[in-house]
Structure 1
């Protein structure tokens, strides 16, 4: 007996959820040191702050593009007008538009304020991933997972995007943490928070409902008691029930919402492997020549990451069982289901729509790094990953990194620096399709146009039929044009080379002549005067 006691006293402590657990003859006593406890509590905060800074840095530099202009346009309506718009299109962004409406009403509209909440969301998501990794394995693992979440190209590009994707990823990360908490200890209050966060995530982006399902599946395997499984099942069922109205409304709007998705099967497979977590651009359908080198870097990065993950799945199942049970379903199942539906029924897959799977992917990639047994191999893998991420990060923050066709910042700066009080402004190539019009610059940069009169602005119910700013035809504003001495005309090279282009021809007939021109990446800003 004395030998058994002596052996127990000599047994080293082991780590459980970030704490030292010491074996004694009678029981296992969990005795966290104060410094260790403090590091466990503060680690998510530190990592979350780093995550915020990574996305916030230079977030105001890239020009807004049409989807972000839609956010600004809808959010700057009254609440009743906002919901009139989303009742016809973009219902899946309704909650986000309302949040942005409240935010912009306080801070005003510009690229920094439009994107600020997305950068904050990346910080929240990084903190939640850190807390989840710490609880599943240990503090150092949680820190690595949280940092990976913050620097993954999918998050650094969505962190400077004025859309709901980063917020959705943050809520999915928090939901993952709540899944682990609820699996360890069943509490009604935790289940209530799980329901609220899960519902919030789905209303931020509908595809998050798939991650709610996979987290429930992981929770069933991770749960320590039957009571935990019951609470998790009730909370998940509540999320599904609460989001049925959104799913039905989105189904009715699917024609206008996702009709543009037309990727080939081979293209979708490439997107799933590379662009879902390692995007080299914001816009899915268009790639400019100067983005090709970034595509190569992103492809190499994806290959390295997936090879590392393959190693841990094959060799590390026993050691990292809980981590893999948590992360693999949320990475594999949603992607497989959406791809299968796209191939068999109708295209619905685009990489950023599965943003809610990023927290699980970050944990899976951290697991892959920890599975490397030699320190120098781990260090090499980290340097390689970071070295490939940095050029993508820099490319994301160039002035025309998002969508060079929508060079709204050039239009806004030109007008802001050269316009006089009372000048009029017109935008070519509309009213045919407001999505393609340069007038969307007014939505994202309203202060730059404060000195000008938007002569073709639509008022009344007609402006509530689209998330992009529509405009009147020239015939409807003919009288206003005649009374304005100087008019700025925003057009494109194609229309500028056409002497019969609508606005140029009409202005010439009214006695105007071109006196200045400013050429940007894809738009030309002309000053016409009598």
Structure 2
């Protein structure tokens, strides 16, 4: 998407991926200025998670105290999925940041109301809606928190301010919301149902950490409900917990929204509650010891989600949903044997984007033509391209063809569409078959 023009991106968003459109457009501008290197495209997500960590610490300090804030920041940073999505070129780090900012700005606005503070909350809410519509369920928790605050203060103006700010934020994101609802059948109808606890483990990227964070959050709520911070504790609890059952109930229909990546926006609030649980130990050595134990519990998840080929393991700590694919390994094979004039053939489901993935790792002077592709995805304003109806007419006497196939395949022509396979079998022979992680790279040599 980053390599498409702005016009092409907008044309695609009318058909699909509207919910990712803000991120696509941002990254299009970012890469136009800074390039498409690995570190460059990962940096925005890393910066978003860094800022989110700061917001978590500030929220913890405002709701509870300094110790709870520091502990909350550490808890958040230790969550393996924070690491994982802090280096992934997707929009999920941005919704985590937007959710953390929205909560921080809400607390600031309730402490000292003013139109600038409520405007900041509006923009944060808009940010949530523009990058993850499901994250707007956070407003339910915010709304209950505002009611609790106003009930304790016996002042109700903040309810009106919150209503206006939330409505304005949703209005800004309305085009994305409406398009996303219209496209949901194509976009996310594939998501399978899973037990809530299994999804929660996937949200945090660790069974051990899921147990620990949940237990610490419960301790944080129970210990602070007995003090003068009861109202603030209740506010923090509803912000963290209320979106989850609402999303779960909303997922009883044809579309499942209770999916680990879509629930990441609640992690900051849960980290705040867990930080309060650690702070209940009071003494600094005990707090430090608790954080060390929590860090130790996170190690298996951290190591796994930092490993090579881990980004596709979105079901961790459960088994992989699919075999990982190493585009870089496949690119090394093609680059090592490439000759000018070589062509390219790809096969398999379009969503693995094998050609795009491999081309990303190839140097500019290694660019084999996709011989059977009639129109590219960008030309069609779609996520996938279209192939020639008559494969024989698309070949241009290329002396050699590189074939990219899924999984381990010993007979590459058998895995291609029948018409393509027939044409290639008549004109080419298999010269080389190389298996890399999740992919097969075959080289065909023209007969005669």
The TM-score, its normalising length taken from structure 2, stands at: 0.87
Residues 460 and 317 of structure 1: CA distance in aligned 2, closer, same or farther (over 3 Å): same
Say if 2:335 is the partner of 1:416.
yes
Structure 1 residues without counterparts, runs of 5 or longer: 1-73, 280-297
Residues 402 and 377 of structure 1: CA distance in aligned 2, closer, same or farther (over 3 Å): same
Match of 1:509 in 2: 426
Work out the CA distance in 2 between the residues paired with 1:427 and 1:346. Answer: 31
Residues 515 and 214 of structure 1: CA distance in aligned 2, closer, same or farther (over 3 Å): same
Match of 1:238 in 2: 168
1:108-507 to structure 2, matched below 5 A, reads: 108-222=35-149, 225-263=155-193, 267-276=194-203, 278-279=204-205, 298-319=206-227, 320-343=229-252, 346-373=255-282, 377-403=286-312, 404-429=323-348, 433-436=349-352, 438-442=354-358, 444-445=360-361, 447=363, 450-459=366-375, 463-467=379-383, 469-473=384-388, 475-476=390-391, 478-479=392-393, 481-493=395-407, 495-497=409-411, 500-502=414-416, 503=420, 505-507=422-424
DSSP 3-state at the match of 1:253: helix
Residues 304 and 175 of structure 1: CA distance in aligned 2, closer, same or farther (over 3 Å): same
| Native 8 Å contact 1:109 1:446 kept in 2 | no
Work out the CA distance in 2 between the residues paired with 1:151 and 1:272. Answer: 18
Report deviation, 1:301.
2.3
DSSP 3-state at the match of 2:256: coil
Work out the CA distance in 1 between the residues paired with 2:163 and 2:222. Answer: 30
Report deviation, 1:474.
7.5
Work out the CA distance in 1 between the residues paired with 2:413 and 2:156. Answer: 76
DSSP 3-state at the match of 2:51: helix
DSSP 3-state at the match of 1:160: coil
Residues 448 and 392 of structure 1: CA distance in aligned 2, closer, same or farther (over 3 Å): farther
1:58-97 to structure 2, matched below 5 A, reads: 74-97=1-24
Report deviation, 1:157.
1.5
Number of residue pairs matched by the alignment: 429
| Native 8 Å contact 2:221 2:234 kept in 1 | no
| Native 8 Å contact 1:130 1:145 kept in 2 | yes
| Native 8 Å contact 1:274 1:302 kept in 2 | yes
Structure 2 residues without counterparts, runs of 5 or longer: 313-322
Work out the CA distance in 2 between the residues paired with 1:114 and 1:151. Answer: 23
| Native 8 Å contact 1:84 1:464 kept in 2 | no
Report deviation, 1:129.
1.6
| Native 8 Å contact 2:48 2:97 kept in 1 | yes
Residues 176 and 76 of structure 1: CA distance in aligned 2, closer, same or farther (over 3 Å): same
Q: Larger C-alpha radius of gyration, 1 or 2?
A: 1
Report deviation, 1:215.
1.8
Residues 418 and 140 of structure 1: CA distance in aligned 2, closer, same or farther (over 3 Å): farther
| Native 8 Å contact 1:213 1:236 kept in 2 | no
Residues 211 and 445 of structure 1: CA distance in aligned 2, closer, same or farther (over 3 Å): farther
| Native 8 Å contact 1:323 1:367 kept in 2 | no
Report deviation, 1:130.
2.0
Report deviation, 1:90.
1.1
Work out the CA distance in 2 between the residues paired with 1:144 and 1:322. Answer: 21
Work out the CA distance in 1 between the residues paired with 2:377 and 2:208. Answer: 50
Report deviation, 1:419.
2.0
Residues 449 and 93 of structure 1: CA distance in aligned 2, closer, same or farther (over 3 Å): farther
Match of 1:289 in 2: none
Report deviation, 1:251.
1.6
Work out the CA distance in 2 between the residues paired with 1:126 and 1:449. Answer: 42
| Native 8 Å contact 1:327 1:364 kept in 2 | yes
